[in-house]
Amino acid sequence: MNQGTDILVAGAGAAGLTVGIALAQAGFEVTVVGALDGRRNARTVALFEASLRLYRALGLWDRLSPFATPLERIRLIDDTDSVFRPTPVLLRASEIGLDAFGANIENADLVAALAAAARETPGLHLIEDLLGDFLLTSESASARLPGGERIEAALLVGADGRGSRVRAAAGIGAREWSYSQTALTALLWHAKPHRRTSTEFHTRIGPCTLVPLGPTAERPNRSSLVWLMSPEDAERRMALSDPELAAEIQRQVHDIHGDMGLEGPRGAFAMSGLRCNRLTGTRAAVVADAGHFFPPIGAQGLNLGLRDVAQLVASLNRHGRNDPGAPKALADYDAARRIDVATRVAGVATLNRSLLTHAMPVDFARAAGLMAMANIGPLRRALMREGVAPAGRLPPLMRTPRGDRGADARG
């Protein structure tokens, strides 16, 4: 048996659910297919201003804010052995007229809240399964459910993450590379308050970042950890007991939050990067990690992916009302996303490599950059704005500043 829909979305992670809801709200009939990932693997995402604007515009922020902790300050600390070690840089959201740069939220909470919203969105059909056997022609896109049923659509959106099968089926060329780094993640309680400040230590093997989390009934002070390290160190640390690992983390972050302990399981993620030649194929478009990924430095990954989502909605509204898979609509989406995606992928790769490279000119350039950021106000503010809500090229769903600017988030 076959069924039809305007737009078929493969993947029900944060990107797939968000694009499904946004496109259904825009008036398209949408089917989202994907298994919901409810694992608690100590992963959180810091979502910045433009992403929060998107969730506000979609009427979803009230569902997400109970799980979100505001990020008011970001502290960058050079923790390398470089001879050019600059003083720490403290970035304050208030300097760019915001109460908070954004908010930190556990992945599992984000996906669960979005899935609940998706189930209540008119025009959106959520199927918790996997799609396969993708077929793309100039007339239509289709894919098969494991039970044999085929779903046909005018457009297939690949929100199916790093190993995207939609990307492959659409013949989208991509360059992929790996780093000898693993990100260890954990949720922590600690003795001293974080004061809504995220702290990023730049070490020789990559950043080690503590991101504020809100309190629980038992623990008033909590943070999430993303610590990039060699795969060997990650393997060793994954085998440590909770108190042993907590002691190593406490040493690594120079005891800034006092005594700490682990809450629940930890995670380990091998680091790699990917960039596509384009984000579209015949009757297909990819968004978020299906189209680009890189190590979690500066918390850019999903924020970049949500800008894909907002732009895809804008391009389909402009050129795809009658046919969402029309070449003109897809060309508009691809062209609009090119510069933002290319600069973020290259920027994160450069910063990561600058830490891994033990070369004096590279150390000097990195230190000079941080010192310029600390001392030159207009440059610092321009970089902060660029990080949280890039100027000039935001799609309509991300243009309206938040009214209460995160004051309703917890923590």
Ligand X SMILES: Cc1cc2nc3c(=O)[nH]c(=O)nc-3n(C[C@H](O)[C@H](O)[C@H](O)COP(=O)(O)OP(=O)(O)OC[C@H]3O[C@@H](n4cnc5c(N)ncnc54)[C@H](O)[C@@H]3O)c2cc1C
Residues that bind ligand X (CB under 6 A): 10-16, 33-35, 37, 43, 45-46, 130-131, 159-161, 165, 183, 185, 226, 269, 288-290, 296, 299-303, 305
Helices first, then strands: H and E counts in the chain? 11, 19
Nearer to ligand X, 16 or 324 (CB): 16
Report in angstroms how near the CB of residue 166 gets to ligand X at its nearest. Answer: 7
Report in angstroms how near the CB of residue 101 gets to ligand X at its nearest. Answer: 11
Q: What share of the chain is helix, strand, coil (3-state, %, to 5)?
A: 35, 30, 35
CA nearest neighbour of 71 among 190, 194, 197, 215: 197
How far apart, in whole angstroms, are the C-alpha atoms of residue 299 and residue 159?
A: 19
Report in angstroms how near the CB of residue 234 gets to ligand X at its nearest. Answer: 11
Nearer to ligand X, 50 or 326 (CB): 50
Report in angstroms how near the CB of residue 159 gets to ligand X at its nearest. Answer: 5
Task: Look at the chain and count its residues.
Answer: 411
Residue 281 burial class via C-beta count within 10 angstroms: exposed 0-12, middle 13-18, buried 19 and up: buried
Nearer to ligand X, 165 or 194 (CB): 165
Report in angstroms how near the CB of residue 295 gets to ligand X at its nearest. Answer: 8
What lies within 8 Å, CB to CB, of 42 at 6+ separation is: 185, 186, 187, 224, 225, 264, 265, 266, 267
How far apart, in whole angstroms, are the C-alpha atoms of residue 184 and residue 267?
A: 6
Nearer to ligand X, 39 or 321 (CB): 39
Nearer to ligand X, 160 or 363 (CB): 160
Nearer to ligand X, 127 or 367 (CB): 127
CA nearest neighbour of 193 among 77, 72, 91: 72
CA nearest neighbour of 17 among 309, 254, 279, 337: 309
Report in angstroms how near the CB of residue 314 gets to ligand X at its nearest. Answer: 19
Q: Which residue is nearest to ligand X (CB)?
A: 13
